[in-house]
Each structure stands twice: as C-alpha cells, then as structure tokens.
Amino acid sequence: MRTIIALALTFGAASPALAASGPFFSMANTNFVVWLAFLLFVGILLLVKVPGMLGGQLDNRAAGIQSELDEARALREEAQTVLASYERKHKEVQEQADRIVAAAREDASAAADQAKADLETSIARRLAAAEDQITSAKDAAVKDVRDQAITIAIAAADQVIAKQMTATEANKLIDAAITDVDAKLH
C-alpha cells in the first residue's frame, strides 16, 4: 500500500507534469487528468480489495508450495527408509549367498574326500580280487601240472610195470592194495 502511494506521489511530482502548459490542477491539463485517473484506478483497486486478494492468492500459493515441499520431504524420508530397507535386505541376501557358497564348498570338499576314500577302497578291493584271482590261477596251474605229472607218472609206471610184471605179481599187488584200502576204511 505504501508503495502505491509513493508511486502516485512520484507521478505527481514528475517533471513531465511540470512541462504541461497552464495550471496543473486544471481539467485541461492532461497530466492532471491522467494523475486523477490513476488515483481513481488505485482507489477502485483498494475498494475492491485487490491487494488483499493478491495477498491471499500469494498466501495460497505459498501454502501450496509449502505443502508440496512438505510432501517432497515426506517422500524423500520414505525413499530413504525404503532404500535403507533394501540395503539391509541386500546385505542379508549377500550374507545368505556367502553362507550357501561356503556350505557348497564344504559339501564339495566332503564329497571329494568321500570319493577319494571310496576310490581307495575300490582299488584295494580290486587289488585283493586280482591277488585272489592270481592265487587261484596259480593254484589251478600247480594242480594242473601235478595232475599231468601224476597222469604221466601213472602212464610211465603202467608201462614199466606192464613190461616187468607177471600175472602172479599182479595178483599179489591187487591183494595188497585191497588189504591196504580195507585197513584205511575201517
């Protein structure tokens, strides 16, 4: 309001007003008419309470801006809360992933150790089985050699005995064998 009055006085005291011809407070002086019209205009604005309306609108605008700022602060705080929550969750998930990886490594190490032990056991069993097969094959070979040696010895003895033995000696040997078998069986 003070600025409007100061503005009106400035227009009233301006040098162009002094440049007009004739008395200043006359209706023939255009500067005076303009000055009166301006004062009438300002008066009507004051009568209609335009400055109050402008102040109200500015206050409403300031209140709107303040509410938007408050809302923005609230949203920022909410976003920070959500961000902190996500960071905590991310940290928890990272820790859980690290635990899973560590458990998987331990399981893999245990499985490798178990596989190694199983392999050693399997190799030991196969070696034992191979040794058993070798022993069995050796025993079978020795038995085969003995059997062949016995067969050859019997055949050779049969030929020698057949050439040297007579029927009486054969009967004596048969009787001795029967007696020997009878003694061993009873």
> What local confidence, expressed as pLDDT, does residue 96 receive?
96
- In tens, the pLDDT along 163-181 reads 777 778 778 878 888 898 8
Q: Average pLDDT over the chain, rounded to whole?
A: 85
Tens of pLDDT, residue by residue over 21-61, are 667 777 788 898 999 999 999 999 889 888 889 899 999 99
Q: Is the pLDDT of residue 182 over 80?
A: yes
| CB-based contact 39:32 (threshold 8 Å) | no
What distance in Å separates the CA atoms of residue 160 and residue 164, rounded to the nearest whole number? 6
pLDDT above 90 as % of the chain: 48
Show the DSSP H helices in the chain as ranges.
2-12, 15-19, 30-47, 50-164, 167-185
138 versus 22: the higher-pLDDT residue is 138
State both tokens at 48. Answer: 């209609």
What six digits make up the tokens of 127? 């070696």
Letter string b/e over residues 81-118, b meaning 16 or more CB atoms within 10 A of that residue's CB: eeeeeeeeeeeeeeeeeeeeeeeeeeeeeeeeeeeeee
d(CA 66, CA 80): 21
Residue 48 per-residue DSSP state: T
3-state secondary structure 54-79: HHHHHHHHHHHHHHHHHHHHHHHHHH
C-alpha–C-alpha distance, residues 34 and 12, integer Å: 10
42 neighbors 2 (Cβ within 8 angstroms)? no
Cβ neighbors of 28 (< 8 A, separation 6 or more) are 22
Q: How far apart are CA 30 and CA 48, in angstroms?
A: 27
Give, as one character, the DSSP assignment of residue 37: H
